[in-house]
Amino acid sequence: MKISEISHPLSTFIATVRVVMRHTTVTARTTITADTFMSAKAMLAKTYGVENVMSLTQLTNETVIDEQTKTLSPQELQVKSMSDRAKQLTHQAKQLKARQSLQQAQQKLVKASQIPRTH
């Protein structure tokens, strides 16, 4: 046994991960115990896949895990997942429209700044 194992106890981390099933994807919160933030992230990446680890935060002494959180049924989780995806797509659509508007405005600016040609 190493002295660091005694002097530095393991830390607890809360992670939000995406769980991919056959026809649906859900997000779930889980806890993991590890030496460091990077160790926890590596273990989660190996378990769920790098792209499926959405967030990771270290629990401090003041943080309390709320055991009163309502457990959602599979149908409720599916609805929540679809709702989250709809919000994400709406946000992406707004960003795309904003980019297109910016490009149009830049094109108009370039056109307006060109010297008019006279015959």
Give the pLDDT confidence score for residue 82 in this predicted structure: 92
Contact 15, 31 (CB under 8 A): yes
Give the pLDDT confidence score for residue 6 in this predicted structure: 64
* CA atoms lying within 13 Å on the CB side of residue 93: 6
Name the 3-class secondary structure at 87.
helix
Contact 13, 58 (CB under 8 A): yes
Q: In terms of Cα–Cα distance, which of 34, 31, 40 is closest to 11?
A: 34
Report which listed range, 2-6, 61-65, 110-114, is most confident.
110-114
Residues contacting 80, CB < 8 A, separation 6+: 26, 27, 72
Rounded average pLDDT over 41-70: 80
Largest separation between any pair of C-alpha atoms in the chain: 90
Confidence of residue 42 (pLDDT cuts 50, 70, 90): very high
pTM, whole model, 2 decimals? 0.47
